[in-house]
Amino acid sequence: SFKGEMMTHYYYIDHSKQQSSGSSDSNVHSTNQPPQFNCSSEVLHGKYFLLGQAVWTICQLLTDKLLTVSDLDPLRRYLPPCDRPKPNSRYSSIQDSSRYQYSLSITRPLANQAHDSKKATESIISNVTFSDLVIHVVAVSESVRLQQVLATYGIQTQTPKQIEPLLIWPPAELIKAYANLGVNKKLGFSGRPVRPIGVLGTCKVYRISSKTVLCYPLTFETTDFYISSDMALLLDNIRSDLEFITKCWRLKGRPIYVMMLRERHLRGPQKSDLLELLTQIRQGKLSSSIFVRLERLQTAISTACIEHLDFLNTEVYPTFPWESVAVAENKNTNDLSHYKSLTDVVKAPVLSDDLDYQHHEFQNQHETEIRDYICNTDIQIHSLKKHTLATYELYKRGGLDYMIRDNYRVKNHLEHLMNQATTFQDWAVIRFVSSLLRKMVDSLAPAVTNLLVRGKIVTLGIFGFEETVIDKPIRPNDIYKILYNDNIFGRSIFHAVLLQEVLINVSLFMNTYPQLFNGILKIRLGWMLEAMKLALEYLRTDPEEVVTLNVISPNNIKQLLDYVLTTQQSGDIEQRSSFQKRQMDGALSRVPVHFYEHVWSILERTPGGIKLCGILLPQVEL
């Protein structure tokens, strides 16, 4: 039968022509054809090779689990390139290879059968990516005290001094190094743009001027934005990073994931969650597909992916931090040094009071009185907001460079307030101060591009006011100007940072759950914030309780956004009124299924077009 897939039956080798290769060159165009295969005994003489029969036999052995893939391929080509036997090279290279995929039979209930029927199942085939990639995790403690505390729980870490002469840089230093890539003054090349280094780039080991340098991921960066200050979100991002590395690592060698552990990580209610994650990493398995190994850096570097940055000019070497300091920002953060232990910080109560910066008691006070209050009053948990408002009043009058006392400006005091608010987990103050300091997430531009390549249009603005439409990739500096202009920062200080949180989360959901955005062509971030405010009102149980987006943690912002986007697919939508459903869909700019097809069908029958709210939608575009 000729139905179905075709496979080669056999192939034939003429040994006589192999022996007389010189004479066969002159008879390349000979019309002699190999004889027809008519006797199984010919196989025994080595002339005919039954390829189809061999493939069928191998498949049967694999199906019966008598053979494994490693038995078939001694060269280990079924594994990721990082685990194959290969010669060492000076530069890492991306391998063009796909991982081995096998079929997994899964049973599920049939959709048209009753729920009580346990036998009504069907078998479906699912492609599961197989990989035995092991991620080396290096835990670095910022102090010896933290290292000793973690050691009591069985978590072995290293301090920056113990890692020497190896250096650990913050991501900003690696970005500075890559900025020299391709610089050529004669040709007018300015080098690599100042863009963030992704998690795959930070998993490599870099050789720079006879120095060995590693970089911890942006997940642990604290200088650019405050998202990593939320422990719940930080732990979720760590798991996402490890999952992403497992799926996308294609470089030579094994990846090294540097976990930068700080003392404040153990000073919160999520302490047990962090210890649970570290325990899972120590055990070597986070999930069925993520395999990790907690290693010392000196041990893990022998199998790492090494990249040589030979393009750096010797003139730029003095600008890099060649001292053995893992976290550069730790030099100036001694705010928590007066604590005797890591557990003597009083747990902060749940703060639900918003920060009213438009009406406060310092508006009509003299600058001398405000300075005296800032200098002579200690910052406590209940006076943190008052200190923030006093500093904001000086900011309005003199800007970030306004001198509070000798060599102490408003900017310095805002950074001090930021550290204290992070300790107390007062998110209203954290967001307010971050916006005054003009902080911005490094990965905003890639997040915008990720939405654009999926056919969406992004708008930045405040609900009810003018919005800025982004329909093409944009530079980080341009996004910064949009966020901190008069339309956004001038109208709401909180919106300048809340829009960044929403943009990062929307980009993440677009990668993992793109079906959530069905029916949404234009992602209006300001309107999404309005939808989240409506969701807070729907979820409020106490009528007298007032909770705003400014006071909830970044992790709760992420969960609230997920709740807003998934209401179309959850059972909660049945509990809402028709007005609430329309209000939520309107805030999200979401249209029903096949909406645009129906509009086009109506336009085909209306030569004069359709007029909605005074706006004419013509049948033919003018």
> Which pLDDT tens digit goes with each residue over 206-228?
988 788 889 999 888 877 788 88
Domain closes at, from 84, 110, 130: 130
**Are both 166 and 312 inside the same structural domain?**
yes
Q: Say how far apart CA 519 and CA 596 lie, in whole Å.
A: 9
Whether residue 601 is contained in a domain is answered as: no
Confidence of residue 320 (pLDDT cuts 50, 70, 90): low
Higher pLDDT, 34 or 395: 395
Whether residue 77 is contained in a domain is answered as: no
- The answer to whether 234 touches 192, Cβ cutoff 8 Å, is no
The reported pLDDT for the residue numbered 272 is: 87
Whether residue 117 is contained in a domain is answered as: yes
**Are both 425 and 538 inside the same structural domain?**
no
- The answer to whether 175 touches 195, Cβ cutoff 8 Å, is yes
Check residue 350 and report its DSSP letter. Answer: P
Whether residue 559 is contained in a domain is answered as: yes
Higher pLDDT, 30 or 120: 30
Q: Say how far apart CA 384 and CA 389 lie, in whole Å.
A: 9
Higher pLDDT, 403 or 39: 403
Q: Say how far apart CA 418 and CA 421 lie, in whole Å.
A: 5
Handedness of CA 302, 307, 312, 316 (dihedral sign): negative
The reported pLDDT for the residue numbered 341 is: 57
- The answer to whether 384 touches 421, Cβ cutoff 8 Å, is yes
Q: What number is the average pLDDT over the span 265-291?
A: 86
**Are both 419 and 323 inside the same structural domain?**
no
The reported pLDDT for the residue numbered 349 is: 46
The one-letter amino acid code at 494 reads: F
Check residue 42 and report its DSSP letter. Answer: H
Q: Is the pLDDT of residue 547 over 80?
A: yes
How confident is the model over 371-405, as pLDDT tens digits? 899 888 888 888 889 999 999 999 998 899 989 98
**Are both 31 and 48 inside the same structural domain?**
yes
**Are both 168 and 316 inside the same structural domain?**
yes
Q: What's the mean per-residue pLDDT of the chain? A: 79
Whether residue 469 is contained in a domain is answered as: yes
Check residue 346 and report its DSSP letter. Answer: P
Q: Say how far apart CA 271 and CA 283 lie, in whole Å.
A: 19
- The answer to whether 459 touches 372, Cβ cutoff 8 Å, is no
The reported pLDDT for the residue numbered 24 is: 47
List, in sequence order, the alpha helices (H) in 351-426: 367-376, 384-398, 410-424
Cis peptide before 165 (omega within 30 of 0): yes
Q: Is the pLDDT of residue 44 over 80?
A: no
Q: Is the pLDDT of residue 164 over 80?
A: yes
Detail the DSSP E strand segments found in 66-130: 101-109, 121-129
Compute CA distances 65 → 62, 71, 100, 130, 480, whole Å: 5, 11, 16, 16, 57
495 membership: H or E segment, kind and range:
helix 495-512
Q: How many other CB atoms are found less than 10 A from the CB of residue 158?
A: 19
The reported pLDDT for the residue numbered 14 is: 67
Whether residue 451 is contained in a domain is answered as: yes
Q: Is the pLDDT of residue 469 over 60?
A: yes
Confidence of residue 502 (pLDDT cuts 50, 70, 90): very high
Q: How many other CB atoms are found less than 10 A from the CB of residue 227?
A: 25
**Are both 25 and 111 inside the same structural domain?**
no
207 membership: H or E segment, kind and range:
strand 205-208
pTM equals: 0.72
Detail the DSSP E strand segments found in 529-585: none
How many domains does one find in the chain? 5
**Are both 117 and 43 inside the same structural domain?**
no
Whether residue 351 is contained in a domain is answered as: no
Chain-centroid distance of CA 450 in Å reads: 12
Q: Is the pLDDT of residue 281 over 50?
A: yes
Residues of the domain holding 538: 444-591
Confidence of residue 101 (pLDDT cuts 50, 70, 90): very low
**Are both 427 and 502 inside the same structural domain?**
no
Instruction: Please state which of the ranges 40-54, 289-303, 468-482 shows the lowest mean pLDDT.
Output: 40-54
The reported pLDDT for the residue numbered 105 is: 39
Compute CA distances 454 → 459, 507, 508, whole Å: 15, 10, 13
The reported pLDDT for the residue numbered 352 is: 57
The reported pLDDT for the residue numbered 460 is: 94
How confident is the model over 111-161, as pLDDT tens digits? 444 444 444 444 333 333 445 688 999 999 988 999 999 999 999 999 988
**Are both 294 and 152 inside the same structural domain?**
yes
Q: Is the pLDDT of residue 238 over 60?
A: yes
Query: Which residues, listed in sequence order, are joined to residue 126 by a DSSP beta bridge?
Result: 104
**Are both 194 and 110 inside the same structural domain?**
no
Q: Say how far apart CA 210 and CA 416 lie, in whole Å.
A: 37
- The answer to whether 302 touches 315, Cβ cutoff 8 Å, is no
The reported pLDDT for the residue numbered 226 is: 87
